[in-house]
Amino acid sequence: MNEKKKCKIFNYEIKNTVKLYYSEIFAKTRLQVQTHSHDLKDEDKLYKGTIDCLTRMIKEEGLDGLYSGLFSSLFGTVASSFAYFFWYSLVKKGYYKQRPQALEKPLSMKVELTLGAIAGIVSHLCTLPISVVTTRQQTTAPESRKNFFSTIAEVVKDDGITGLWKGLKPSVMLTMNPAITYSVFERCKSGILESRKNNGKKMELSSGEVFVIGAFSKTVATIVTYPLIMAKIKLQWKPAKKENETEEERKDREAKTYNGIIDVLKKSYKNDGIPGLYQGMQAQILKAVLTQAILFVSKEKLNLYTYYAICYLKNHVKRQKPKSENIQPLVNVETKL
């Protein structure tokens, strides 16, 4: 198989994985904001799970409906990554400035996680408005859905400028998620390697094992922090206001409006008990596993094609290099003045 064909297959794989990933995020958000109630008249309108949500969205809104808010979501992903690494580099630089002796040895896991948490909090302050816009676009009916900037204007109009930072508290608390993931990953990894050492086996993890351990670690972190994840989404969401809503509809809409993390958790528990605190978790875990898969596949493929590119460049340079017998010695070259 030639390199062009391999690249096409790789691009096709990534494209379809990203499509699946985003549609999964869309379903996850819809599942997280829906509200169960024991006296709800339209109980049949609630989604029964990820597949039911995706199927009904395609039926009601078409394929385009699955990708509402795609621009703001992609923009948010890029902005979040940039902001995190930008602030992490500044925080790390500041740490080394305060403690020059730390340059002599690698940072401990505790320090790394602390610096990462600080960078995560500051980056959330910078990018949370994009998350609010994405949530609004994904949970708004097609006929009322607006573009990125119009959604920002609507949020500011309804909730003031602070409305763009709804869900800040749970977002800050969720900076512990990577720390939990990393800790679980390291414990699993060290446990497996220790077992292999005792049995005289190869002290190395395969790519597949790294993926499985990574997915498991992320799943554990998601389960532990999920109520906060759900609270963040519900705080950023706003139930639509009907033009001629009745008193009953107004009360129902106000009951779905939340004033903070505790309010979200109390109302969710009141309506559905413990399961209400984990509403949509299946989709969240699937999203986490897909994230791990995309990172894993991308890393492996990019490493492979980087290797191909280096080999190609080496061969190209070798072919272009002039032969030594065609080069005249410098001492034999006459210089004319």
Tens-digit pLDDT profile for residues 5-31: 555 554 555 555 555 555 656 667 777
Q: Which residues in the chain land under pLDDT 50?
A: 10, 37-41, 324-325, 327, 329-337
Q: What is the structure's pLDDT at 284? A: 83
Quick check: helix, strand or coil at residue 301?
helix
User: Right CATH number for 12-37+46-239+259-311 from 3.40.50.300, 1.50.40.10, 1.10.340.30, 3.30.460.80?
Assistant: 1.50.40.10
What token pair was written down for 277?
């605190």
Greatest Cα pair distance, the chain, in angstroms, is: 102
Residue-range domain boundaries for the chain: 12-37+46-239+259-311
How far apart are alpha carbons 128 and 81 in whole angstroms? Answer: 13
CA distances (Å), origin 89, targets 83, 98, 226: 10, 14, 29
Chain segment 180-227, per-residue pLDDT in tens: 888 888 888 888 888 888 877 777 778 788 888 888 988 998 999 999
Helices (H), 34-108: 50-65, 70-98
Dihedral angle, C-alpha 209, 212, 214, 219, nearest 10 °: -160
CB distance 265 to 227 below 8 Å: yes
- Residues belonging to the chain: 337
What token pair was written down for 272?
């559905």
How far apart are alpha carbons 245 and 43 in whole angstroms? Answer: 19
Cα 175–Cα 23–Cα 209 angle in degrees, nearest 5: 60
Q: What is the structure's pLDDT at 223? A: 92
